[in-house]
A and B are shown apart, each in its own frame.
Chain A
């Protein structure tokens, strides 16, 4: 490989906390098919951004994502990471610096969890000690006790645990870019919500540039810094923050994709503290409480669940700072409000 290209790879690899991704008029046309799978897709993703690709199955969102690490080769157009043209780099070496998580996880059944996470470090010729230290660090990061899990095999783990290992494995070499294809799609709703919350917390600390593909709009709202709503041939119908898309869908297609209950969905993005809280005395003493870090949706959920007219809002020290009722939540939706970014929510 020419020296210049190696330098380009090293520059991408050096940017562990997020790199700029630019796609310019990217097209994928399969032979013997009348229409392109992806047509003229252009997008700029800022370093550290978590971008959600949302769209129905077959709209080309996964194809678009897979062209970034060249699992699928674009027919035309250009893709660059931090200004380096990825199409001129060696695909295998490029992929070692792009984290990749797929829905089926694809853990290697014949390798232990530690060996699975150590795959990319081994490809990069890391020393045994460095790899082992990193494996332990990552297992701890994703909430799996290293002493307990490092030497198990994938089949000995639950689906949720396997998915955590999948994320840890993708993070092994601290890549600046992560591509995630419906990573939580195959898990049950409870596990999924837990994984999403953990993932948001993780991203808040590592700040990778992430392309995340999903068909679940609620997941996109919950996780994304910005959402690209895609239709056939990966056409971008709207590309904006979750709050802006919920507040003003660009067209009929986007509205239909958001579905019903936009008000409820918006509440996810708004912190409790945005509401004009009532006096602490309005809430039942020693009843269910809402935290200042919760969203209005959490508050509404608790209100509906308890059937109480108002709930106490408490701070980190469990000290009541006020109370919240359904009226106060409605008032927020009626007003122009500052929107909480999803990464800060967790």
Chain B
């Protein structure tokens, strides 16, 4: 089986609307999962950052979730929630949680004791310190966690086609299941290239988001 460049270009020309739709789906499912994971991850991080036992428990649990092979996790979710978007989003949220929770905890804890003391000494309540001092200072670190989670989930989302999930995985699986046929390589290659391209674009977007949402006083 050799690569026929002309064939690939013709394939793209004929199916560009399908390709765009799958790219859009892929991006959407990742974005939905990241927003949910951020709400849960940052929230949980804020609850446990200063409590040693719950903190270790949460990070360990999120770490375990990451060790479950994605195919196995998706398969396990089918009896519970069926096929399609739901198991995909749930799996992606589970994979995103570790980097987001961990970075939230690290970021909140990294605020120096001197700054914490002067904040309390000026009459901020612990909740005010959390929202007005710790969270803004931890923000670039939290965003780095989200960025790692984004890279991770863009890759994992490709596997979600296994449970009839959305995204470029559909092309990859279609290619793999029709090996030997004329377009098999074109399907697999297009899906894979699309995932890589998406990962690069999203990563670049995160550089911009981090820059524009971080206080100038914190930038190096």
Contacting pair A123 B136 (CB below 8 A): no
A16 close to chain B: CB less than 8 A: no
Across-interface contacts of A100 in B (CB, < 8 A): 118, 121-122
Interface string of A103-141 (1 = CB under 8 A from B): 011111111100000011001000000000000000000
* Shortest distance between the CB of B198 and any CB in chain A (Å): 32
Across-interface contacts of B209 in A (CB, < 8 A): none
Contacting pair A120 B123 (CB below 8 A): yes
Contacting pair B123 A123 (CB below 8 A): yes
B216 close to chain A: CB less than 8 A: yes
Q: In the complex, what distance in Å separates the CA atom of A92 from the CA atom of B117?
A: 12
A69 close to chain B: CB less than 8 A: yes
Contact of A71 among B117, B128, B218 (CB under 8 A): B117
Contacting pair B121 A109 (CB below 8 A): no
B39 close to chain A: CB less than 8 A: no
B137 close to chain A: CB less than 8 A: yes
Interface string of A149-172 (1 = CB under 8 A from B): 000011100000000000001100
Contacting pair B218 A110 (CB below 8 A): yes
Task: Decide if the interface of chain B is mainly helix, strand, loop or mixed.
Answer: helix
* Shortest distance between the CB of B197 and any CB in chain A (Å): 34
Across-interface contacts of B115 in A (CB, < 8 A): 106-109
Q: A106-B117, A110-B217, A153-B216 are in contact. Are A119 and B122 (CB under 8 A)?
A: yes
Total count of chain A residues near the partner, CB < 8 A: 28
Interface centre among A119, A153, A179 (most CB of B within 10 A): A119
Contact of B217 among A106, A120, A154 (CB under 8 A): A154
Across-interface contacts of B76 in A (CB, < 8 A): none
B124 close to chain A: CB less than 8 A: yes
A94 close to chain B: CB less than 8 A: yes
Interface string of B206-220 (1 = CB under 8 A from A): 000000000111100
B40 close to chain A: CB less than 8 A: no
Across-interface contacts of A94 in B (CB, < 8 A): 123
A144 close to chain B: CB less than 8 A: no
Q: A102-B114, A153-B216, A153-B217 are in contact. Are A108 and B121 (CB under 8 A)?
A: no
Contacting pair A106 B128 (CB below 8 A): no
Q: In the complex, what distance in Å separates the CA atom of A229 from the CA atom of B111?
A: 34
B125 close to chain A: CB less than 8 A: yes
Across-interface contacts of A155 in B (CB, < 8 A): 217
Interface string of B106-121 (1 = CB under 8 A from A): 0000001011011111
Q: A102-B117, A104-B112, A104-B114 are in contact. Are A109 and B218 (CB under 8 A)?
A: yes
Interface centre among A95, A104, A106, A154 (most CB of B within 10 A): A106
* Shortest distance between the CB of B10 and any CB in chain A (Å): 53
Q: What are 20 inter-chain pairs, A to B, with CB distance below 8 A? A: A92-B123, A95-B120, A95-B122, A95-B123, A96-B123, A102-B117, A105-B114, A106-B117, A106-B118, A106-B119, A107-B115, A108-B133, A109-B137, A110-B136, A119-B122, A119-B124, A120-B122, A123-B128, A153-B216, A154-B217
Interface residues of B (CB under 8 A from A): 112, 114-115, 117-125, 128, 133, 136-137, 215-218
Give 6 closest A-B pairs by Cβ, nearest first: A106-B118, A153-B217, A96-B123, A104-B114, A100-B121, A110-B215
